[in-house]
Structure 1
């Protein structure tokens, strides 16, 4: 049953929804490094900069509060997933560079866990892996292919037969699943708040409620016209990036929505599984994702909300009742034991998608301006890798991280409106139709090849 649902993310329970504010008098006129954006990318960058050089003056500017964007709203997967397929990366950069990227992503999952423990961030990190169910014959074929592909690249993905799949997640009628051990569950708002506190302990100034009009080339201009100077500027704005001058077509903000159940009793969990706190999804075309939360709920999300003309971002876009209803139906279809369970929360927010689905880390040594993002929803771990990489670049250090193939990658610009509005929303509708076709026919969708081209070959 739906019940009454909260409008703020489950992860924000017990916190004030109002943005923090910083007095202008509290802001310095200059800093060694100014980071624009108080989410994971910005905070990880500040963290590793100060770990490397505690004498740096680092200023983090956040227009709302730490974790306001995707960092505090997401599904809580710290995963080695990458939105672009390994074969596509290898075609551009070669096999060895691709293997280095995949290894760095796996190492990053453990690095997040290490920092969570060492700094006592309180993120609820449990590395239980990812189970991805195959619920139709077409999904089973893709799952087997994914396991074979994973073996070729050494990414740890294995095929589970129907019984093995149900031992991890007791979903009736599944035909099998893939399992990958390189993923952890976290409570994302706790993790980002803990990281913000750690950055402050290391000496950074984190200013909340401060809006930036433009930034780069050693200058940050605030919305009120005030100018701050910096030796280096890092843009860490993800889904909000198109709202910065000069970056209007770099990314599109696409909304992902989530729902959460009430806390479930132990007897119900015995019927569901996820005993190792595995996160879960399926091999459908329309993305879904779930986790067993720290307080024993299921938090479950997916795509399907429309892209808004002109890269629009508004609070009301966080809520699409038709999508919430679809998510509840999908989850109870996946786990019929949840029928009659009360759903207590429903929320959403934008994530950033580049035109070729390829995340990037950019650094201009002339203007001393860096940027990272375009994670396509796989950013909870990738932001850590980005933060470590940006720290090396800002400090002028050459490392294995700065040699990874996403460093310096420049995605094509998105089409001007209304073409991108038509294209993005057509892609979302095509994913729905592809899943419906496969459920109806039992065969791979004829639309699927088009979707693969649209999503970077993933």
Structure 2
């Protein structure tokens, strides 16, 4: 029996993230053994931690900065995402207008400045992460989505964004799919990049500036130690059963760090502060990459301007071209597991990969003979307002940022600047922002948490199937300022 096209196309796909499966990947750094002191301890080696360490050392070259990572730098969300580096700090302009109406103008400017600063850093440190400021193309694939595109264009132009509204023929001239009915091209506020190469480049820049980095080093606890904080650690290969996955911990060589200040940059992973558990849920997102397209295959779809793409459904897909001519195709499913469960095996979900492959071929039927080279999943940290939140603990000696909800490639640099300002203790233009001073509404405890999330996912899928009509549950969440997005 001939397998279906999706099955054939997925048959040889490697179950690892494409971005991390390359020879450019740096060798791991030694774990921490024994005890040490530092001015600033950064916990987490993803974008949040790397930007924090880089900015802290750039601000004060004499400051001793130590970063510890339970796996290797960039192995988790920072090396598994789609590589969309957006200027928005609020998960889109509409979400920012709704939640921060009095300061969205300032947040919009700060976001653009932040994206410019990322571009400047990439150039200054020679980070070869294929940074392309091509913009993002949002496409309508159902008639009811066209009105939303028009409203988004009007809103974007109010804030001076360089956007174009495209009709069916114009959008298909950019990228040719029979599913497209119209599009919005945001031309200047999204860059495409190689996410793993950005993480590896930031890691190298930190090391060049004198940041001490220890990988395969898990922080297992925090406590006060006089005027400082002490972090207990476990480090070593036995703490990492996979190439990167730090596993459950509990083994390895014990160590400790006495730090004057601490930054938590642990994304969706179980936080060292109990209070964060109410505000965060880990959601699994999945993606595929194709084999490199042939010249004829590329010609059949166009895509000469290399924009990032996303459709505008509630359960949306995001996709883009890689530097070596593959298509990355991800999104749609956003999967939560009861009790905030996270486990290495959850990064593989055959049903989602099959659905994504089917959706890919529906989007690009002219690529029916393409096969997929990689399939993977990973966890993002989401909160009820879809954009980051910040705070301090231990009398201001510790600061944290979390809740980026999939837009952390760009916003984590801004978050790093915020947490460093918070540790400084004084009022700054950033610490006075309502975005920084406020918190999202908490998620309820289990079993209400899982019930609410699964009901919301079902309702979003139902809205997609019913021309965007939102049921009573979704309308209630809208009124409460709560939500859940794919």
Structure 1 counterpart SS, 2:351: helix
Find the aligned partners of 2:285 and 2:402 in 1 and give their Cα distance.
Answer: 16
In structure 2, do the counterparts of structure 1 residues 46 and 78 end up closer, same or farther at CA, with 3 Å as the change threshold? same
**Which residue in the other structure is 1:221 paired with?**
232
Deviations 1:161-193 (A, max 9, x none): 122211221112422111112111111011101
TM-score (norm 2): 0.86
Question: Which of 122, 125, 149 does residue 128 from structure 2 map onto?
Answer: 122
Instruction: Give the deviation of 1:115 after TM superposition.
Output: 1.1
SS at match of 2:289: strand
Preserved contact between residue 166 and residue 183 of structure 2 (Cα < 8 Å): yes
Deviations 1:276-319 (A, max 9, x none): 22000011111311110011100111041421111111111001
Cα pair distance change 1:119/1:150, threshold 3 Å = same
The one-character-per-residue Cα deviations of 1:194-214 (angstroms, maximum 9, x if unpaired) are: 110100111111110011123
8 Å CA contact 2:100–2:435 kept in 1: the answer is no
* Structure 2 counterpart of 1:392, from 421, 424, 434: 421
Aligned in 2, Cα 1:194/1:324: closer, same or farther, shift over 3 Å?
same
Partner Cα distance (1:216, 1:98) in 2? 37
State the distance in 2 between where 1:188 and 1:348 align. Answer: 15
Shift of 1:357: 2.5
Partner of 1:140: 146
Per the alignment, residue 196 of structure 1 pairs with: 203
Q: Distance in 1 between matches of 2:445 and 2:117?
A: 39
Shift of residue 63 of structure 1?
0.3
Equivalent position of 1:235 in the other structure? 264
Equivalent residue for 1:273? Answer: 302
Match of 1:455 in 2: 483
Name which of 7, 10, 19 aligns with 1:2.
Answer: 10
* Unaligned 5+ runs, structure 2: 1-8, 235-252
Q: Which residue of 2 aligns with 1:293?
A: 322
User: Are the counterparts in 2 of residues 19 and 64 from structure 1 also a CA contact under 8 Å?
Assistant: no
For residues 455 and 386 of structure 2, the distance between their equivalents in structure 1, rounded to whole angstroms, comes to: 16
Summarize the alignment of residues 197-212 of structure 1 with structure 2, pairs less than 5 Å apart.
197-212=204-219
CA spacing shift, 1:427–1:457, aligned 2, 3 Å:
closer
Aligned match of 1:30:
37
Whole-Å Cα distance in 2 between the matches of residues 287 and 180 of structure 1?
17
Counterparts in 2 of 1:72-151, with a 5 A limit?
A: 72-83=79-90, 86=93, 89-90=96-97, 93-95=100-102, 97-151=103-157
Deviates more, 1:339-348 or 1:388-397: 388-397
Partner of 1:334: 363
Is 1:12 matched with 2:40?
no
Comparing 294-303 with 397-406, greater Cα deviation is found at 397-406
Secondary structure, aligned partner of 2:13: coil
